[in-house]
Amino acid sequence: MGMFNSIYTVLVCPIKKQVNRNAEIQIKWQDKNARNLNVYHIGDLLEKIENEYNDTWIRTDYICSSCSKHTIGNKGISFIKTADQKRHYVFVKIAEAEICEILTEEEFKQRGIERFVDYW
């Protein structure tokens, strides 16, 4: 699986219409040496970004904490089991290595943008 970095942002669940205040988008769009569990937000620069992910929109996904089933663990801590994860697409705009914008799938379609890189 390897290391990754994360972008944290605010996203609205397309199913329940609830706000996910700390939605995590896990990324591997940078050189392996730059993947150290770093945390980014809109406006931050992604150092050592791979060329195919720079200056484009990227379609990826995130685990939605609003519509995924939560389980209460032994110490009363809530978590989401892998089998209970509900994922939604998002589109991330990168320009000159900067995280410029993050759109839900619905917002992206409304803008009529046709070109993007599929990240899987």
pLDDT, tens only, 47-83: 999 999 999 999 999 999 999 999 999 899 999 999 9
* Contact between 101 and 93 (Cβ < 8 Å): yes
Of 2 and 24, the structure prediction assigns the larger pLDDT to 24
Specify the pTM.
0.92
* 74-to-70, 83, 105 alpha-carbon distances in Å: 13, 19, 36
* Contact between 113 and 103 (Cβ < 8 Å): no
